[in-house]
Chain A
């Protein structure tokens, strides 16, 4: 199997940690994986994105022009990376910041996740990224949801381990949204 994706958004939306968790989940499943972050120059603000490649064979390029999947957390990221997704690929959109009408790409599967609403349901709007990640994994099947949740332990700094439960709930909620459509 081979899967690659770009995860993109504002600095501060937690896109880097999403990429990390996905990568750790893949490692748990004994897959090969590379993770490549790209930062803007500014310390705060600006855009941030990362690329995760998962495969069961040795991985060549850690950077990808045309990914199988893109997870976009805001409008500029959609505009930049949406058109790059491969035909038949998956585009996961943070519907809380991207108006529905902007998402018009032919030949892609699209998944709009109302992340903020779902995160608030779980208890904290800052969990939006985990909701989206849960949804993306559920939809793409790149790793098991179970592995994704377990990956929180190695991926998060020990300081944040007390919040792992909440994060798991948020992932579940995202996955559930894919399953049930709401």
Chain B
């Protein structure tokens, strides 16, 4: 293709966007509104998934030591636990600290129950709080920690707890949230693609006659296709830029606005930086690709003249 022909196609493609004013508007706004909805859900699902992950990260293993375990052994056990793959953090909780935590859990209302347990009267044992890299591995890690007991007598570790039952239930819920979220986004993406290409098809079907005239005048298929290609890309860019800008600034504003309110609930939205250009870039990309793809498949139908 000669350069001047390419230039012509670019010019014609852009001109066609203007010439088909109403139709272009319909296509671009279908792209814009579909991608906007998709974007909103993408942000929503990402935030919900993030919350789910934060929830999962609260999972920890409590390792209760026997009262009789001497301090040196405590250090060696801590060392051994630290060597288990997947363990990310170990915190030693002395029995005094344990009592304080218990007090907190009981609340004002019942805290007089444990009155008089301070100092030597403390019935609790020392313990470790172990965090794992990957919450899903918590069971395996707990098993390995228990294995430290083997061959030692008396066994220094009295009990290894990680909220059995509760943890599985939580994972089931967070998994469900994730699957539903991903399912919704994928479903919406396909819906958006269908609706957009449907709209583009409709605008092009009304130009079927035009295409056949071009062919009868001696235009080759690529010659006819190129301006449609450019037109589709233009519509995609216009249609995708609007929701991307609205979401970028709108989401930024929401994050800022809700910081105080949500902060009270210990929640936090993902920042615009965390969402990053991945999301906005892919929306833009999807828009342009569907624009081009929609035009191309629709035009192809009418090229067989």
B and A form one assembly:
no
Which A residues form the contact surface with B (CB < 8 A)? none
Q: Which residues of B contact A (CB under 8 A)?
A: none
